[in-house]
Structure 1
Amino acid sequence: MIDKITVVGAGNVGATAAQRVAEKELAREVVLIDIAEGIPQGKGLDQWESAPIEGFDTRVTGSNGYEESAGSGIYIVTAGIARKPGMSRDDLLTTNAGIVRQVAENIARVSPNAIIIMVSNPLDVMCYVAMKASGFPRERVIGMAGVLDTGRYRSFLAEAIDVSVEDIQAMVLGGHGDTMVPLISYTTVSGIPITQLIDKERLDAIVDRARNGGAEIVKYLKTGSAYYAPSSGAVQMAEAIVKDKKRILPCAAWLQGEYGMKDLFLGVPCKLGRNGLEQIIEVELTDEEKAALRKSADAVLEPMALV
């Protein structure tokens, strides 16, 4: 447990993340920040009132400013507009870049030693904006993408072959978007290669569904986007950091030569511990996976040039 974790953005993702952090008692205090007057205060109070029922002692408060968040060890940034049907993650670029830039500057001002977990879309580019605006090293700006994408991939596989999600080991790399790269060569069920349990046609369909998992939910909701799974992904990362678990999770990290790439955020296997990003793990990829990862990187670099 650390003293304070702040969640920026009191919408569906942020509010759900704050509740999960509190219920796991990852910090003594959770601060929920949003520009909308009354919204973070009301949601924070509502969550605190659930504490006696759920059995947690983490204090949840809401604020419209950053002063109350001073000294936070971790910031989970969910601020920005959400996708609507027909919108891509990149359609959010200009608006959310301005919001994230201001958020990162405020974080650096009041909590210069914090770790940022970025959730706002387009994820990889928003990580870049936050790192530039905050001046933080790459170890302290990490994007939540691969954890979510892998969760979707694992859930679809478990459903298809009728096994527990706990027995699906998998990893999705690349940019958080339509070019993400599920690593079939590293996908197993309790150590059994997935290719021994499911035919290529069905596996290809599952990979395609995972790539479009966010859009599928947007289509159903019509007026919003996913929030239960994204908040779970962000909090899993926060827990790995708070508890110094040294977990290997697929996260968006600033590459400096790893996988033959440099100067961009891309989803890769990361060791997360008390210091944030503690190591990028380089795994051997098939030629097909290498090509897909390069294509995904190109899709990230294009919008990066616009911010």
Structure 2
Amino acid sequence: MTKQIINSKKAVMVGCGFVGSASVFALMQSGLFTEIVLIDADKNKAEGEAMDISHGVPFASPMKIYAGDYDDAADAAIVIISAGAGQKPGETRLDLVNKNVAIFKSIIPEIAKRNFAGIMLVVANPVDILTQVAIKLSGLPENRVIGSGTVLDSARLRYRLGEHLSVDSRSVHAFIVGEHGDSEVVAWSSANVSGVPLSEICEMRGHYKHKKTRKK
């Protein structure tokens, strides 16, 4: 089997829903790629989103954005999987497992059989489980299949902390760890603002006071 050539400036998005389309728009603005391909079960949807986003190129870096198919994934540096059933009211992310595993079974093997040699990024829910599913279905090594994990959760935490403390959220360093879902937790002990522990900042600002006791 010949070694696949990777185009380091090419990205593929599989799934053109809200997350997929917003991500492609962000990639267009970033200028990281010169070629972005959109793939969706609804080809018309992919073509429409590609055209809309392409109209922003005059205000960004030169690039080609178009609707394609799985053959376009062969030489891509990264394939992002955002396809999947949406979370309905009352459903947990774990409730989506069966539906989205079935969808992945129709997507991942198609990418794998093109001798894909890049990185696969999973952003569909439940992301932790589907990332493991993608590893098994693709046959790719674990270091080339990545889940978005708790990146969004951590970003939301940093923003809210910055808002609460009236500081630039870019200076807030805090992380949510664990599964992207109801079981995730905040790593409060490592949270800080520009290196100053969050506990010290809260104490200085009087958000809470330590109660000291002494033996009589």
Q: Same fold (TM over 0.5)?
A: yes
- 1:103 to 2:112 alignment: no
Structural mapping, 1:179-194, within 5 Å = 179-194=183-198
Cross-structure match for 1:122: 126
Structural mapping, 1:39-54, within 5 Å = 39-52=45-58, 54=59
Cross-structure match for 1:62: 67
Amino acid at match of 2:65: V
CA contact 2:28–2:60 (8 Å) conserved in 1: no
Offset at 1:133?
A: 0.2
CA contact 1:2–1:26 (8 Å) conserved in 2: no
1:163 equivalent among 167, 178, 182: 167
- 1:134 to 2:143 alignment: no
Cross-structure match for 2:25: 19
**For 1:106 and 1:37, how far apart are their aligned partners in 2?**
16
Structural mapping, 1:114-263, within 5 Å = 114-198=118-202
**For 2:143 and 2:92, how far apart are their aligned partners in 1?**
28
1:87 equivalent among 87, 91, 97: 91
Name the SS of the counterpart of 2:56 in structure 1. helix
Offset at 1:111?
A: 4.3
Q: Give the structure-1-normalised TM-score.
A: 0.62
Name the SS of the counterpart of 2:202 in structure 1. coil
Cross-structure match for 1:31: 37
Offset at 1:3?
A: 3.1
CA contact 1:2–1:28 (8 Å) conserved in 2: no
Name the SS of the counterpart of 2:130 in structure 1. helix
Offset at 1:17?
A: 0.8
User: Quick one: structure 1 residues 61 and 33, their matched pair in 2 at CA, closer, same or farther if it must change by over 3 Å?
Assistant: same
**For 2:55 and 2:171, how far apart are their aligned partners in 1?**
36
Cross-structure match for 1:6: 12
User: Quick one: structure 1 residues 148 and 111, their matched pair in 2 at CA, closer, same or farther if it must change by over 3 Å?
Assistant: farther
Name the SS of the counterpart of 1:82 in structure 2. coil
**For 1:25 and 1:108, how far apart are their aligned partners in 2?**
27
**For 1:171 and 1:43, how far apart are their aligned partners in 2?**
33
**For 1:69 and 1:129, how far apart are their aligned partners in 2?**
19
Cross-structure match for 2:212: none
Amino acid at match of 2:147: G
Offset at 1:2?
A: 2.0
Deviating above 3 A after TM superposition, structure 1's stretches of 4 or more consecutive aligned residues are none
Higher relative contact order (Cα pairs below 8 Å, separated by 6+ residues): 1
Greater helix proportion: 1
Query: Aligned Cα RMSD in Å?
Result: 1.7
Query: Of the two, which has the highest radius of gyration?
Result: 2
**For 2:18 and 2:140, how far apart are their aligned partners in 1?**
27
> Which blocks of at least 5 consecutive residues in structure 1 are unaligned?
204-307
Q: Give the structure-2-normalised TM-score.
A: 0.87
> Which blocks of at least 5 consecutive residues in structure 2 are unaligned?
1-6, 209-216
Identity %: 33
CA contact 2:76–2:116 (8 Å) conserved in 1: no
List per-residue Cα deviations over 1:177-200 (Å, max 9, x = no partner): 11112211110011111112237x
**For 1:158 and 1:35, how far apart are their aligned partners in 2?**
40
